[in-house]
Structure formats: structure tokens, C-alpha cells
Amino acid sequence: MLHENIARQPVAARLATADAAPETSASASASASASASAAPAHVPTCPLDGSREVPFFARAHDIEYRTSDDEYDFHRCSCCGVLFIDPMPADRLREIYPTNYYSFVGAKRSLVTTIKERLDRHAFGKILDRLPGDKLSALDIGGGTGWLLDMIREADARVDRTWVVDFDPAARAQAEAKGHNYFQGRIEEFATDQRFDLIMMLNVIEHVADPRAVLAKARDLLKPGGRIVIKTPNWDALDARLFRNHSWGGFHTPRHFVLFTKDSLTNLAGDVGLAVARFSYTQGAPFWSVSVLDLLARHGLVRITKERPAIYHPLMPLLQVAFAAFDFARKPFARLSQMHLELTRADT
């Protein structure tokens, strides 16, 4: 999964001429030792198109779950327009996704979550209404405990087959207890002859090291006439600009590996044989809220810890309500920091 491009720096060889003084054994030994110990230079490379035209964009650390004090660099590809973290910590998933990660434990009941669920159920109902058939199948990539699939089943009684693809064993037990099938692993490893009417990739494509492979796999799993629903951050937004140099919440450092804009994601979808049926910007209250909580923490006004991450702070629901209202007021004329897309197969 880790997309690194290691360029080996050439070591200049000194050719001795006939009249040159010979190296002493000590200097030759030192030269050989230096050559052997010289580390190869790491060259950041875009995970989508392999470009090395990737200027530095920002440096960030984990302000949300505080999994480590490490800093991570984000680069912007001049060719395709994505942001990506480098190096990608794909070999540290158990560390950067702690056991209290939100999709592993499910949402705690509150007025905010109740309102959000009602809005989401209504939105999913409209999507499902556009799908033909007496029976429908749904796949949630990165679906954790299957709580979104629960909502899908409630929104349309035709949904009779549901699958979760995720890597968390604890989430598997909860999902299967609710009647969902579960594949533990990466979506690229999910081998099946089944095809799905609805594939959900909500807040997932930004978490993977190879978005092209994941989106191509989703396309292969989609029935003709079906829909892939994607929600993902948009890095070209007001809050992203304001908090660019302060670990913007949308970086979700270090769990967001690749971040898109409308154009870069639309282009990627077209490359793998998908077409955009519907597109909209939507509120980025979680990113605003995490960013503001970190601002308060830096001034000593609140405390964020591993044991109580930002997402579980008592101020979080209030901030989310406030910033959701702010973003909905701007929606008619602004690019907000989350995008919602419905994709179809381009050959149907």
C-alpha cells in the first residue's frame, strides 16, 4: 500500500590518473564506508499519476486522536491536483486507528446524531428510490460495525443483502450480529462473484494509499444501473485555507492519505470507467470543529488526549451545530470542505 519512490543518488567514482597520488588504505577504507552508509534520497511521488512535480503544501500532526507526536508532510501534485501525505504510514494502521476510533465504536446518542441520522436516512432514501429492482444489495467499504447499512435497510425494505468490508475484527463481530456479511481486509482483496446495486464509500477513499485501485475495484463490483456514493473532503475550501498551517481537521492526520477537489476526483472517476451522475458540496462541520478545538487546546483552554480525543470532547456537538449552520448558509455560493458524489458505470 505504501507508495514511495526511492531514487538512488549516483555516487561519483574517482578515476585515478597515472600521475595521481595513490589513496592510502585508511582513506580508501573511509571512502568505502561512507559510500556504503550513504542513505538513498526519498523523492515524494504522486500516488495517482507518479508525478514528481509535487511541491510541499503543509506540515501537520494528529490533533484529533493524539496517536503520536510525529509530524507529517503533505504535498500537492501539480499534474492531477491531489494532496497526499508523504510518507504514507500504511504500515502503522493499528497505531493510527486506535480502538476508540469513531467508526469502530459507533456514534453516541445525542440530539446532533439524531438529527444527522434523520437527514442521512432521508438522503439515502432518495438515492435508493432511483435504483430499480424488487431486491437490492448494498456494500459499505470501510463500514465498521455496519451502522450505515442499518440505516440503509431502514430506509428501503427492498435491501435484503448487505456486506461490510473493513479490517477491524471487533467491528466484524458487531456487524455480523446485526445480520451483515463481513469481509475482513482491504477492498482490493475482496474476491466475490456478487455485484451490488449500491456501494458506499463515505469518508473512505481519502484513507487509502491507492485510490485508483480502490475506485476501479468498486466499479467492477457495481451492477449496471447501480450507484457508488462517495463522501470525501475537499481541500480547496475556506477552513482548509484558514487552518492549512495548523493541522487542518480535514487532514485527519495521519489517516487521510490522499485528498481531492471536485476536478481531481471527477477526472479519476472517468479514468476508471465511472461517470458522475450527481455532485454537491456539503458541510464540513467536523473539520471546522476539530480545528477550532485544537486552536483552543493550543491556548490552554481545553484539553485533548488519547483517552478523550477531540471527537468525544463535550464542546464537539455544539461546535458541529454552529459550523454546520455556517456552512449551510454558505452552500449556495461557496465550495465547502466535503463533497458528495453519486457515480455510475460509464458504459450504462
- Is there a domain that residue 62 lies in? no
pLDDT of residue 106: 58
- Is there a domain that residue 20 lies in? no
Q: How many residues does the chain have?
A: 348
Residue 23 has pLDDT above 70, yes or no: no
pLDDT of residue 227: 97
- Is there a domain that residue 21 lies in? no
Confidence of residue 90 (pLDDT cuts 50, 70, 90): very high
| Identity of the residue numbered 182 | Y
Domains of the chain: total? 1
Mean pLDDT lowest among 173-177, 218-222, 245-249: 173-177
List of E strands, the chain: 5-7, 41-43, 56-60, 72-76, 83-86, 136-141, 159-166, 181-184, 196-202, 222-233, 258-259, 274-282, 338-345
- Is there a domain that residue 47 lies in? no
- Is there a domain that residue 51 lies in? no
pLDDT of residue 19: 39
- Is there a domain that residue 6 lies in? no
- Is there a domain that residue 126 lies in? yes
Q: Average pLDDT in the 154-168 region?
A: 93
**Torsion angle of C-alpha atoms 143, 144, 148, 154, degrees rounded to 10:** 120
Per-residue pLDDT reduced to its tens digit, 178-203:
999 999 999 999 999 999 999 999 99
Q: Which residue has the higher pLDDT, 309 or 99?
A: 309
Residue 129 has pLDDT above 50, yes or no: yes
Confidence of residue 108 (pLDDT cuts 50, 70, 90): low
Q: Does residue 201 contact residue 144 with C-beta atoms inside 8 Å?
A: no
Quote the cell numbers at residue 143.
463500514
Indicate which CATH number applies to the domain containing 201: 3.40.50.150
Q: Which residue has the higher pLDDT, 2 or 218?
A: 218
Residue 10 has pLDDT above 60, yes or no: no
pLDDT of residue 99: 86
- Is there a domain that residue 70 lies in? no
Per-residue pLDDT reduced to its tens digit, 255-281:
999 999 999 999 999 999 999 999 999
Q: Does residue 85 contact residue 47 with C-beta atoms inside 8 Å?
A: no
Q: Does residue 289 contact residue 316 with C-beta atoms inside 8 Å?
A: yes
Domain that holds residue 293: 93-345
Q: Average pLDDT in the 168-182 region?
A: 91
